[in-house]
């Protein structure tokens, strides 16, 4: 198994961004969705981004934002990647100011073609949880979905990030089931929304690396 990238999302403070980098995260996420308890504005995100080591990717999370809005934020913050969590159609990925990955919500009845329609347009796919009966939550549920629903999807979409209810306790099992290129964590490594816990962060990253070492030995 190749190295699994770790993204820590919902960063709202410089110290939390540095905690994530020190713990071994490959990327941090800034949420620009107005309804999120982890929302930051471009000025806040830019301050955090400037304090991070250069090897940490800066990811901007948007929900149905305009191209101009994303371009402005990307330039001000210095974003490397856009992560789109709304109802953006495949054609909306043409001409975006940065590489962009598309979040697809997974629940009962999920079919691969819900993700595959973005293949060749988006730079990759994020699979996140769709709660039963939910029609509006774009992410951040803190609840895991049935990982068997996306087994084998990695090899079809080019780049696959797994999100939704991942914790230090379950991430190794999730990696073994889904074999994602990356995992995305937020609420499970927090003391409260938008405030990360250094011990949980370290435990999560170490669980990912332990899962990798186990895979290499098999």
Residues with catalytic roles: 9, 128
CA distance 148 to 170: 14
C-alpha neighbours within 13 Å on the C-beta side of residue 30:
31
Contact predicate 20/44, CB 8 Å: no
Query: What value does the CA radius of gyration of the chain take, rounded to a whole number of Å?
Result: 16
Longest Cα–Cα distance of the chain, Å, equals: 48
Q: In 3D, which of 100, 104, 184 has the Cα closest to residue 149? A: 104
Phi, psi for 78 (deg, rounded to 5): 85, 40
Q: In 3D, which of 193, 204, 186 has the Cα closest to residue 61? A: 186
């Amino acid at each position: 198994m190749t190295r699994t990238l770790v993204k820590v999302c919902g960063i709202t403070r410089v110290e939390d961004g540095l905690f994530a980098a020190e713990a071994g995260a490959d990327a941090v996420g800034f949420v620009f969705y107005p309804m999120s308890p982890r929302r930051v504005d471009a000025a806040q995100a830019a301050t955090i981004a400037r304090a991070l080591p250069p090897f940490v990717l800066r990811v901007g999370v948007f929900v149905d934002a305009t191209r101009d809005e994303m371009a402005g934020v990307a330039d001000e913050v210095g974003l490397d990647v856009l992560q789109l969590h709304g109802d953006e159609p495949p054609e909306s990925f043409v001409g975006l100011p940065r590489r962009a990955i598309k979040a697809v919500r997974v629940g009962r009845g999920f079919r691969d073609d819900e993700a595959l329609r973005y293949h060749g347009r988006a730079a990759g796919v994020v699979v996140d949880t769709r709660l039963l009966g939910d029609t509006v939550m774009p992410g951040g549920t803190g609840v895991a979905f049935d990982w068997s629903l996306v087994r084998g999807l990695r090899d079809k979409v080019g780049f696959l990030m797994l999100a939704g209810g991942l914790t230090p306790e379950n991430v190794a099992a999730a990696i073994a089931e889904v074999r994602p290129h990356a995992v995305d964590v937020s609420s499970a490594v927090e003391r409260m929304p938008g405030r990360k816990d250094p011990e949980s962060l370290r435990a999560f990253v170490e669980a990912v690396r332990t899962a990798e070492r186990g895979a290499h030995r098999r």
